[in-house]
Amino acid sequence: MRLLVVGNGMAGCRFVQEVLDRTDRFEITVVGDEPGGAYNRILLSNVLAGATRPEHTTIASEAWYAERGVKLQTGVAVVAIDRAARTVALEDGSSLPYDHLVLATGSTAFVPPIPGLVRPDGSFLPGAALFRTQADCAAIAGWAGPARRAVVVGAGVLGLEAARALAGRGLAVTVVQREDRLMERQLDAAAGRVLDWTLRRLGIEVVAGASVSAVHGDEHLTGVTLTDGSAVDAELMVLCCGVRPRADLGRSAGLTVGAGIVVDDRMATSDPSITAIGECAEHRGRLYGLVAPVWEQARVAAAVLADPAAPVRYAGSTMVTRLKAAGIELAAMGDDSPRVERDDDGDGDGTEFVTFVDRTRGVYQKLVVRDGRLIGAILLGDTRNAGTVTQLFERGAALPLDRSALLMVRRNAPAATTTSPTALPARATICQCNGVTKGAITAAWQAGAHTVEEIAARTRATTGCGTCADTVCGLVDWLAQADTPAPPA
Protein backbone atom coordinates (compact mmCIF):
# COMPACT_ATOMS: atom_id res chain seq x y z
CA MET A 1 0.00 0.00 0.00
CA ARG A 2 1.45 3.33 -1.08
CA LEU A 3 1.50 5.84 1.76
CA LEU A 4 2.44 9.37 0.72
CA VAL A 5 3.26 11.99 3.34
CA VAL A 6 3.32 15.65 2.26
CA GLY A 7 5.44 17.56 4.74
CA ASN A 8 8.74 16.61 6.34
CA GLY A 9 8.41 18.75 9.44
CA MET A 10 7.89 17.67 13.03
CA ALA A 11 4.40 16.29 12.39
CA GLY A 12 5.21 14.39 9.19
CA CYS A 13 8.42 12.92 10.55
CA ARG A 14 6.82 11.82 13.81
CA PHE A 15 3.96 10.22 11.86
CA VAL A 16 6.45 8.18 9.83
CA GLN A 17 8.25 7.09 13.00
CA GLU A 18 4.95 6.05 14.58
CA VAL A 19 3.93 4.05 11.49
CA LEU A 20 7.29 2.25 11.33
CA ASP A 21 6.94 1.35 15.00
CA ARG A 22 3.66 -0.41 14.22
CA THR A 23 3.87 -2.03 10.81
CA ASP A 24 6.00 -2.64 7.72
CA ARG A 25 3.17 -3.08 5.24
CA PHE A 26 3.37 0.43 3.77
CA GLU A 27 5.52 1.69 0.94
CA ILE A 28 6.22 5.15 2.35
CA THR A 29 7.21 8.26 0.41
CA VAL A 30 7.80 11.63 2.09
CA VAL A 31 7.87 14.93 0.21
CA GLY A 32 9.21 18.09 1.85
CA ASP A 33 9.74 21.55 0.42
CA GLU A 34 12.78 22.24 2.63
CA PRO A 35 16.06 20.49 1.76
CA GLY A 36 17.55 17.72 3.90
CA GLY A 37 16.14 15.63 6.72
CA ALA A 38 13.66 16.58 9.41
CA TYR A 39 14.66 18.87 12.26
CA ASN A 40 13.19 20.20 15.50
CA ARG A 41 11.93 23.68 14.69
CA ILE A 42 11.33 24.45 18.36
CA LEU A 43 15.07 24.36 19.07
CA LEU A 44 15.91 27.10 16.56
CA SER A 45 15.73 29.75 19.29
CA ASN A 46 18.39 27.76 21.18
CA VAL A 47 20.50 27.72 18.01
CA LEU A 48 20.17 31.48 17.63
CA ALA A 49 21.15 31.90 21.28
CA GLY A 50 24.24 29.73 20.74
CA ALA A 51 23.06 27.11 23.22
CA THR A 52 22.49 24.38 20.60
CA ARG A 53 24.46 23.52 17.47
CA PRO A 54 22.37 23.39 14.27
CA GLU A 55 23.17 19.72 13.68
CA HIS A 56 21.79 18.85 17.11
CA THR A 57 18.29 19.85 16.00
CA THR A 58 18.08 16.91 13.58
CA ILE A 59 15.20 14.51 14.21
CA ALA A 60 15.71 12.23 11.23
CA SER A 61 18.52 12.54 8.69
CA GLU A 62 18.24 11.57 5.04
CA ALA A 63 20.25 8.46 5.92
CA TRP A 64 17.70 7.59 8.63
CA TYR A 65 14.94 7.47 6.03
CA ALA A 66 17.04 5.47 3.58
CA GLU A 67 17.99 2.90 6.21
CA ARG A 68 14.29 2.24 6.86
CA GLY A 69 13.27 1.98 3.24
CA VAL A 70 11.42 5.32 3.21
CA LYS A 71 11.69 7.32 -0.02
CA LEU A 72 12.48 10.95 0.76
CA GLN A 73 12.07 13.70 -1.81
CA THR A 74 13.03 17.14 -0.50
CA GLY A 75 13.47 20.65 -1.79
CA VAL A 76 10.31 20.40 -3.87
CA ALA A 77 6.73 21.42 -3.08
CA VAL A 78 3.46 19.63 -3.81
CA VAL A 79 1.22 22.02 -5.75
CA ALA A 80 -1.97 20.02 -6.39
CA ILE A 81 -3.90 16.90 -5.43
CA ASP A 82 -5.91 14.85 -7.92
CA ARG A 83 -8.28 12.92 -5.66
CA ALA A 84 -9.87 10.98 -8.52
CA ALA A 85 -6.56 9.70 -9.87
CA ARG A 86 -5.00 9.60 -6.37
CA THR A 87 -1.90 11.47 -7.41
CA VAL A 88 -0.17 14.67 -6.35
CA ALA A 89 1.56 17.11 -8.67
CA LEU A 90 4.97 18.54 -7.75
CA GLU A 91 6.30 21.94 -8.71
CA ASP A 92 8.99 20.35 -10.90
CA GLY A 93 6.29 18.91 -13.16
CA SER A 94 6.45 15.34 -11.84
CA SER A 95 3.70 13.48 -10.00
CA LEU A 96 3.45 10.80 -7.32
CA PRO A 97 0.70 8.22 -6.79
CA TYR A 98 -0.84 7.30 -3.44
CA ASP A 99 -3.28 4.88 -1.91
CA HIS A 100 -3.44 6.95 1.25
CA LEU A 101 -2.31 10.55 1.55
CA VAL A 102 -1.24 12.32 4.73
CA LEU A 103 -1.13 16.12 4.74
CA ALA A 104 1.33 17.45 7.29
CA THR A 105 1.94 20.78 5.60
CA GLY A 106 2.16 22.76 8.83
CA SER A 107 1.75 26.52 8.82
CA THR A 108 3.30 29.55 7.22
CA ALA A 109 4.48 32.71 8.91
CA PHE A 110 2.21 35.74 8.60
CA VAL A 111 3.88 38.68 6.86
CA PRO A 112 2.28 42.04 7.64
CA PRO A 113 1.99 44.49 4.72
CA ILE A 114 4.74 46.93 5.77
CA PRO A 115 5.96 49.51 3.23
CA GLY A 116 9.62 48.98 2.39
CA LEU A 117 9.75 45.37 3.63
CA VAL A 118 9.39 43.54 0.32
CA ARG A 119 11.49 44.41 -2.73
CA PRO A 120 10.16 44.35 -6.31
CA ASP A 121 11.43 40.79 -6.83
CA GLY A 122 9.38 39.56 -3.85
CA SER A 123 12.33 39.09 -1.49
CA PHE A 124 12.73 40.83 1.86
CA LEU A 125 15.01 43.82 2.26
CA PRO A 126 18.31 42.34 3.55
CA GLY A 127 18.37 42.57 7.32
CA ALA A 128 14.69 41.63 7.63
CA ALA A 129 13.74 38.00 8.19
CA LEU A 130 11.08 35.63 9.37
CA PHE A 131 12.03 33.16 12.10
CA ARG A 132 10.57 29.90 10.87
CA THR A 133 13.18 27.70 9.18
CA GLN A 134 16.82 26.69 9.53
CA ALA A 135 17.61 29.04 6.63
CA ASP A 136 15.87 31.89 8.47
CA CYS A 137 17.87 31.14 11.61
CA ALA A 138 21.16 31.11 9.70
CA ALA A 139 20.32 34.42 7.99
CA ILE A 140 19.44 36.10 11.30
CA ALA A 141 22.63 34.81 12.94
CA GLY A 142 24.69 36.12 10.02
CA TRP A 143 23.16 39.58 10.14
CA ALA A 144 23.36 39.69 13.95
CA GLY A 145 27.16 39.50 13.85
CA PRO A 146 27.87 43.06 12.68
CA ALA A 147 24.57 44.53 13.90
CA ARG A 148 24.26 46.82 16.91
CA ARG A 149 20.50 46.92 17.29
CA ALA A 150 17.58 44.66 16.40
CA VAL A 151 13.81 45.02 16.28
CA VAL A 152 11.64 41.98 16.97
CA VAL A 153 8.04 42.34 15.78
CA GLY A 154 5.68 40.24 17.88
CA ALA A 155 5.75 39.36 21.56
CA GLY A 156 4.50 35.80 21.54
CA VAL A 157 6.66 32.85 22.58
CA LEU A 158 8.76 32.86 19.41
CA GLY A 159 9.25 36.61 19.42
CA LEU A 160 10.41 36.73 23.03
CA GLU A 161 12.75 33.77 22.54
CA ALA A 162 14.25 35.50 19.50
CA ALA A 163 14.59 38.77 21.42
CA ARG A 164 16.35 37.11 24.33
CA ALA A 165 18.67 35.20 22.00
CA LEU A 166 19.68 38.38 20.19
CA ALA A 167 20.16 40.27 23.45
CA GLY A 168 22.41 37.44 24.59
CA ARG A 169 24.52 38.08 21.49
CA GLY A 170 25.09 41.64 22.67
CA LEU A 171 22.53 43.47 20.52
CA ALA A 172 20.26 46.19 21.84
CA VAL A 173 16.79 44.78 21.22
CA THR A 174 13.40 46.45 20.92
CA VAL A 175 10.28 44.28 20.97
CA VAL A 176 7.27 45.79 19.20
CA GLN A 177 3.89 44.37 20.17
CA ARG A 178 0.61 45.38 18.54
CA GLU A 179 -1.45 44.34 21.57
CA ASP A 180 -1.38 46.25 24.84
CA ARG A 181 0.45 43.47 26.70
CA LEU A 182 3.01 40.76 26.12
CA MET A 183 1.92 37.21 25.31
CA GLU A 184 -1.71 38.27 25.33
CA ARG A 185 -2.88 34.75 24.49
CA GLN A 186 -1.36 33.24 27.63
CA LEU A 187 -1.03 36.01 30.23
CA ASP A 188 -3.33 38.36 32.10
CA ALA A 189 -2.50 42.05 32.44
CA ALA A 190 -0.69 41.67 35.77
CA ALA A 191 1.52 38.86 34.46
CA GLY A 192 2.21 40.89 31.34
CA ARG A 193 3.48 43.77 33.48
CA VAL A 194 5.82 41.48 35.43
CA LEU A 195 7.13 39.98 32.19
CA ASP A 196 7.64 43.49 30.79
CA TRP A 197 9.71 44.36 33.87
CA THR A 198 11.73 41.16 33.51
CA LEU A 199 12.55 41.88 29.87
CA ARG A 200 13.62 45.43 30.63
CA ARG A 201 15.85 44.13 33.41
CA LEU A 202 17.49 41.92 30.77
CA GLY A 203 18.11 44.95 28.56
CA ILE A 204 15.19 44.43 26.16
CA GLU A 205 13.06 47.48 25.40
CA VAL A 206 9.33 46.86 24.97
CA VAL A 207 6.96 48.98 22.90
CA ALA A 208 3.36 47.79 23.37
CA GLY A 209 0.28 48.99 21.55
CA ALA A 210 2.20 49.78 18.37
CA SER A 211 3.29 48.14 15.13
CA VAL A 212 5.80 48.83 12.37
CA SER A 213 4.46 51.29 9.80
CA ALA A 214 7.53 51.47 7.54
CA VAL A 215 10.88 49.79 6.97
CA HIS A 216 13.84 51.94 5.89
CA GLY A 217 16.97 51.13 3.90
CA ASP A 218 18.11 50.79 0.31
CA GLU A 219 20.54 47.86 0.12
CA HIS A 220 20.13 46.86 3.78
CA LEU A 221 17.72 47.64 6.59
CA THR A 222 18.66 50.76 8.57
CA GLY A 223 15.62 51.23 10.80
CA VAL A 224 11.85 51.25 11.20
CA THR A 225 9.09 53.73 11.95
CA LEU A 226 6.32 52.72 14.37
CA THR A 227 2.63 53.61 14.29
CA ASP A 228 3.06 55.73 17.41
CA GLY A 229 5.34 58.02 15.39
CA SER A 230 8.61 56.92 16.97
CA ALA A 231 11.59 55.58 15.03
CA VAL A 232 14.08 52.84 15.87
CA ASP A 233 17.49 52.61 14.21
CA ALA A 234 18.31 48.95 13.59
CA GLU A 235 20.30 46.76 11.21
CA LEU A 236 18.16 43.68 11.88
CA MET A 237 14.41 43.04 12.07
CA VAL A 238 12.88 39.68 12.95
CA LEU A 239 9.20 39.11 12.17
CA CYS A 240 7.34 36.84 14.61
CA CYS A 241 3.79 37.91 13.83
CA GLY A 242 2.04 34.56 14.10
CA VAL A 243 1.29 31.78 11.64
CA ARG A 244 -1.50 30.65 9.34
CA PRO A 245 -2.38 27.00 8.55
CA ARG A 246 -1.16 25.81 5.16
CA ALA A 247 -4.53 24.57 3.99
CA ASP A 248 -4.46 25.64 0.34
CA LEU A 249 -3.70 22.13 -0.95
CA GLY A 250 -6.75 20.76 0.82
CA ARG A 251 -8.93 23.68 -0.23
CA SER A 252 -8.00 23.42 -3.91
CA ALA A 253 -8.62 19.66 -3.79
CA GLY A 254 -12.16 20.20 -2.53
CA LEU A 255 -11.63 19.01 1.04
CA THR A 256 -13.66 20.58 3.82
CA VAL A 257 -11.61 23.51 5.09
CA GLY A 258 -12.32 26.03 7.83
CA ALA A 259 -9.40 27.82 9.39
CA GLY A 260 -7.51 24.60 8.65
CA ILE A 261 -8.22 21.28 6.96
CA VAL A 262 -11.13 19.84 8.93
CA VAL A 263 -10.52 16.38 10.47
CA ASP A 264 -12.48 14.02 12.69
CA ASP A 265 -11.36 12.15 15.79
CA ARG A 266 -9.42 9.68 13.63
CA MET A 267 -7.62 12.57 11.87
CA ALA A 268 -9.48 11.77 8.62
CA THR A 269 -10.50 14.58 6.29
CA SER A 270 -13.73 14.71 4.28
CA ASP A 271 -11.99 12.29 1.90
CA PRO A 272 -11.42 8.98 3.75
CA SER A 273 -8.24 8.34 1.77
CA ILE A 274 -6.66 11.57 3.06
CA THR A 275 -5.51 12.29 6.59
CA ALA A 276 -4.36 15.67 7.95
CA ILE A 277 -2.25 16.24 11.07
CA GLY A 278 -0.41 19.03 12.77
CA GLU A 279 -0.73 22.77 12.34
CA CYS A 280 -2.65 22.47 9.07
CA ALA A 281 -5.42 20.40 10.69
CA GLU A 282 -8.55 21.78 12.36
CA HIS A 283 -10.07 19.42 14.94
CA ARG A 284 -13.39 20.23 16.57
CA GLY A 285 -12.97 23.84 15.53
CA ARG A 286 -9.48 24.17 17.01
CA LEU A 287 -5.97 24.53 15.64
CA TYR A 288 -2.92 23.36 17.56
CA GLY A 289 0.56 24.83 17.24
CA LEU A 290 2.28 23.22 20.22
CA VAL A 291 4.42 20.15 19.73
CA ALA A 292 2.65 17.84 22.21
CA PRO A 293 -0.78 18.00 20.49
CA VAL A 294 0.83 17.71 17.07
CA TRP A 295 2.71 14.56 18.04
CA GLU A 296 -0.39 13.11 19.69
CA GLN A 297 -2.25 13.60 16.41
CA ALA A 298 0.57 11.83 14.59
CA ARG A 299 0.33 8.91 17.02
CA VAL A 300 -3.43 8.59 16.55
CA ALA A 301 -3.23 8.83 12.76
CA ALA A 302 -0.51 6.18 12.61
CA ALA A 303 -2.41 3.83 14.91
CA VAL A 304 -5.57 4.16 12.82
CA LEU A 305 -3.75 3.48 9.55
CA ALA A 306 -1.82 0.54 10.98
CA ASP A 307 -5.04 -1.00 12.34
CA PRO A 308 -8.31 0.54 11.11
CA ALA A 309 -10.19 -1.42 13.78
CA ALA A 310 -8.14 0.06 16.61
CA PRO A 311 -10.35 1.95 19.10
CA VAL A 312 -8.04 4.95 19.17
CA ARG A 313 -9.37 8.50 18.91
CA TYR A 314 -8.04 12.02 19.26
CA ALA A 315 -10.19 13.95 21.69
CA GLY A 316 -8.23 17.20 21.67
CA SER A 317 -5.34 18.34 23.83
CA THR A 318 -4.77 20.48 26.87
CA MET A 319 -2.66 23.57 26.26
CA VAL A 320 0.60 23.94 28.18
CA THR A 321 2.96 26.66 26.94
CA ARG A 322 6.61 26.91 28.01
CA LEU A 323 8.94 29.78 27.24
CA LYS A 324 12.59 28.81 26.68
CA ALA A 325 14.76 31.88 27.18
CA ALA A 326 17.71 32.53 29.47
CA GLY A 327 16.59 34.54 32.49
CA ILE A 328 12.87 34.03 31.81
CA GLU A 329 10.94 31.10 33.25
CA LEU A 330 7.33 30.69 32.20
CA ALA A 331 4.74 27.93 32.15
CA ALA A 332 1.15 28.81 31.23
CA MET A 333 -1.70 26.37 30.86
CA GLY A 334 -5.39 26.46 30.02
CA ASP A 335 -7.25 28.07 27.17
CA ASP A 336 -8.77 31.40 28.21
CA SER A 337 -8.89 30.98 31.98
CA PRO A 338 -5.36 32.18 32.89
CA ARG A 339 -6.05 35.51 31.19
CA VAL A 340 -9.29 36.08 33.10
CA GLU A 341 -9.06 38.91 35.62
CA ARG A 342 -10.79 38.60 38.97
CA ASP A 343 -13.99 40.62 39.06
CA ASP A 344 -14.44 43.20 41.78
CA ASP A 345 -17.62 41.51 42.97
CA GLY A 346 -15.91 38.18 43.70
CA ASP A 347 -16.29 34.72 42.25
CA GLY A 348 -19.98 34.40 41.52
CA ASP A 349 -19.42 31.58 39.03
CA GLY A 350 -17.51 29.49 41.57
CA THR A 351 -14.09 30.32 40.14
CA GLU A 352 -11.22 30.80 42.59
CA PHE A 353 -8.11 32.85 41.83
CA VAL A 354 -5.00 32.10 43.86
CA THR A 355 -2.11 34.47 43.19
CA PHE A 356 1.37 35.19 44.47
CA VAL A 357 3.41 38.17 43.26
CA ASP A 358 7.00 39.14 44.04
CA ARG A 359 7.84 41.80 41.48
CA THR A 360 11.34 42.38 42.85
CA ARG A 361 12.21 38.84 41.72
CA GLY A 362 10.03 38.96 38.62
CA VAL A 363 7.65 36.33 40.01
CA TYR A 364 3.94 36.14 39.18
CA GLN A 365 1.99 32.98 39.89
CA LYS A 366 -1.71 32.37 39.43
CA LEU A 367 -4.01 29.39 39.74
CA VAL A 368 -7.53 29.40 38.33
CA VAL A 369 -9.67 26.85 40.16
CA ARG A 370 -13.24 25.74 39.55
CA ASP A 371 -15.08 23.07 41.53
CA GLY A 372 -11.86 22.22 43.34
CA ARG A 373 -9.93 21.52 40.12
CA LEU A 374 -7.32 23.46 38.22
CA ILE A 375 -8.54 24.90 34.92
CA GLY A 376 -5.64 27.26 34.24
CA ALA A 377 -2.37 28.56 35.61
CA ILE A 378 0.44 31.05 35.05
CA LEU A 379 3.85 30.42 36.59
CA LEU A 380 6.22 33.25 35.70
CA GLY A 381 9.68 33.72 37.19
CA ASP A 382 9.53 30.61 39.38
CA THR A 383 8.54 27.34 37.74
CA ARG A 384 9.91 24.90 40.31
CA ASN A 385 6.43 23.52 40.93
CA ALA A 386 5.46 23.51 37.26
CA GLY A 387 5.62 19.71 37.04
CA THR A 388 3.16 19.21 39.89
CA VAL A 389 0.83 21.97 38.67
CA THR A 390 0.86 20.58 35.13
CA GLN A 391 0.02 17.10 36.39
CA LEU A 392 -2.96 18.41 38.34
CA PHE A 393 -4.13 20.44 35.36
CA GLU A 394 -3.88 17.64 32.81
CA ARG A 395 -5.56 15.03 35.03
CA GLY A 396 -8.26 17.29 36.40
CA ALA A 397 -7.32 16.00 39.84
CA ALA A 398 -8.70 17.49 43.05
CA LEU A 399 -6.43 20.14 44.52
CA PRO A 400 -5.19 20.24 48.11
CA LEU A 401 -7.08 22.56 50.45
CA ASP A 402 -3.94 24.68 50.82
CA ARG A 403 -3.72 26.00 47.27
CA SER A 404 -0.77 28.23 48.14
CA ALA A 405 1.42 25.16 48.63
CA LEU A 406 1.34 24.73 44.84
CA LEU A 407 2.81 28.18 44.30
CA MET A 408 5.26 29.05 47.01
CA VAL A 409 8.29 26.79 47.50
CA ARG A 410 8.90 27.10 51.21
CA ARG A 411 12.49 27.73 52.19
CA ASN A 412 12.50 25.24 55.04
CA ALA A 413 10.85 22.43 53.09
CA PRO A 414 13.03 19.42 52.18
CA ALA A 415 14.25 19.82 48.61
CA ALA A 416 12.83 16.48 47.50
CA THR A 417 9.28 17.59 48.34
CA THR A 418 9.40 20.42 45.84
CA THR A 419 12.26 20.42 43.38
CA SER A 420 13.52 16.86 43.10
CA PRO A 421 12.02 14.73 40.30
CA THR A 422 12.74 11.66 42.42
CA ALA A 423 9.85 12.65 44.67
CA LEU A 424 7.36 12.35 41.79
CA PRO A 425 5.26 9.19 41.43
CA ALA A 426 6.03 6.78 38.59
CA ARG A 427 2.92 7.92 36.69
CA ALA A 428 4.07 11.57 36.66
CA THR A 429 4.68 12.90 33.15
CA ILE A 430 8.26 14.19 32.82
CA CYS A 431 8.26 15.02 29.09
CA GLN A 432 4.98 16.75 28.25
CA CYS A 433 5.68 16.85 24.51
CA ASN A 434 6.00 13.08 24.22
CA GLY A 435 3.95 11.94 27.21
CA VAL A 436 6.94 10.19 28.82
CA THR A 437 6.44 9.33 32.47
CA LYS A 438 8.96 8.90 35.24
CA GLY A 439 8.13 5.18 35.18
CA ALA A 440 9.00 4.96 31.47
CA ILE A 441 12.35 6.64 32.08
CA THR A 442 13.08 4.29 34.97
CA ALA A 443 12.17 1.31 32.78
CA ALA A 444 14.49 2.58 30.04
CA TRP A 445 17.29 2.86 32.60
CA GLN A 446 16.69 -0.69 33.76
CA ALA A 447 16.81 -1.80 30.10
CA GLY A 448 20.29 -0.34 29.68
CA ALA A 449 19.79 3.34 28.74
CA HIS A 450 22.17 5.06 31.19
CA THR A 451 22.67 8.53 29.68
CA VAL A 452 20.28 11.33 28.76
CA GLU A 453 20.99 10.65 25.07
CA GLU A 454 20.21 6.94 25.47
CA ILE A 455 17.04 7.74 27.44
CA ALA A 456 15.99 10.10 24.63
CA ALA A 457 16.63 7.44 22.00
CA ARG A 458 14.44 4.92 23.82
CA THR A 459 11.63 7.16 25.10
CA ARG A 460 11.87 10.38 23.02
CA ALA A 461 12.01 12.40 26.25
CA THR A 462 13.79 15.79 25.76
CA THR A 463 13.30 15.67 21.97
CA GLY A 464 10.40 18.15 21.90
CA CYS A 465 10.73 21.62 23.38
CA GLY A 466 13.64 20.49 25.57
CA THR A 467 12.39 22.06 28.81
CA CYS A 468 12.38 18.68 30.56
CA ALA A 469 16.11 18.09 29.94
CA ASP A 470 17.18 19.18 33.42
CA THR A 471 14.57 16.94 35.04
CA VAL A 472 15.62 13.94 32.95
CA CYS A 473 19.26 14.66 33.79
CA GLY A 474 18.34 14.76 37.48
CA LEU A 475 16.58 11.42 37.19
CA VAL A 476 19.57 9.89 35.41
CA ASP A 477 21.89 11.12 38.19
CA TRP A 478 19.56 9.76 40.86
CA LEU A 479 19.24 6.37 39.12
CA ALA A 480 23.02 6.18 38.78
CA GLN A 481 23.47 6.84 42.48
CA ALA A 482 20.82 4.30 43.36
CA ASP A 483 22.66 1.69 41.27
CA THR A 484 26.06 2.45 42.80
CA PRO A 485 26.95 -0.08 45.48
CA ALA A 486 27.84 1.34 48.86
CA PRO A 487 31.60 1.38 49.64
CA PRO A 488 32.83 -1.40 51.91
CA ALA A 489 32.83 -0.60 55.62
Q: Which residue has the higher pLDDT, 480 or 33?
A: 33
296 and 227, same structural domain?
no
111-144: b or e for each residue (b if 16 or more CB lie within 10 Å)?
eeebebbeeeeeebbebbbbbbbbebbebbbebb
Contacts of 158 (CB under 8 A, 6+ apart): 45, 131, 240
CB atoms within 10 A of CB 73: 16
| Residue 314, in any domain of the structure | no
Confidence band of 347 (pLDDT split at 50, 70, 90): low
Give percent of the chain with pLDDT exceeding 70: 93
The pLDDT value given to residue 467: 72
263-274 mean pLDDT: 98
Q: Are residues 82 and 151 in the same domain?
A: no
The number of distinct structural domains making up the chain is 4
Q: CA distances (Å), 26 to each of 16, 98, 114, 352, in order? A: 10, 11, 47, 51
Same domain, 232 and 263: no
Give domain status of residue 311, yes or no.
no
pLDDT over threshold 60, residue 486: no
- Do residue 251 and residue 340 come from a single domain? no
Identify the pLDDT of residue 417: 38
Split at pLDDT 50, 70, 90, the class of 324 is confident
What was the pLDDT predicted at 414? 40
Whether the predicted pLDDT of 429 surpasses 80 = no
The residue among 241, 261, 278 that closes a domain is 241
pTM attached to this predicted model: 0.88
Q: Is 485's pLDDT higher than 70?
A: no
Same domain for 61 and 102, yes or no, is yes
The CATH number assigned to the domain holding 405 equals: 3.30.390.30
Residues 200 and 292 in one domain: no
Output the domain CATH number for residue 422. Answer: 1.10.10.1100
Please check whether residue 488 lies inside any domain of the structure. yes
Helices 291-306 and 10-22, axial angle in degrees (round to 10): 40
Residue after which a domain boundary falls, among 225, 241, 257: 241
- Cβ pair 369, 409 in contact under 8 A: no
Q: Tell me what the mean pLDDT of segment 255-283 comes to.
A: 98
Domain-embedded: residue 393: yes
Domain that includes residue 233, residue range = 128-241
Among 344, 379, 409, give the residue marking a domain's end.
Answer: 409
Q: Is residue 59 within 8 Å of residue 463, measured between CB atoms? A: yes
User: DSSP 3-state helix, strand, coil percentages of the chain (rounded to 5)?
Assistant: 30, 25, 40
More confident residue, 417 or 13: 13
Torsion 297-298-304-305 (CA) sign: positive
Confidence of residue 342 (pLDDT cuts 50, 70, 90): low
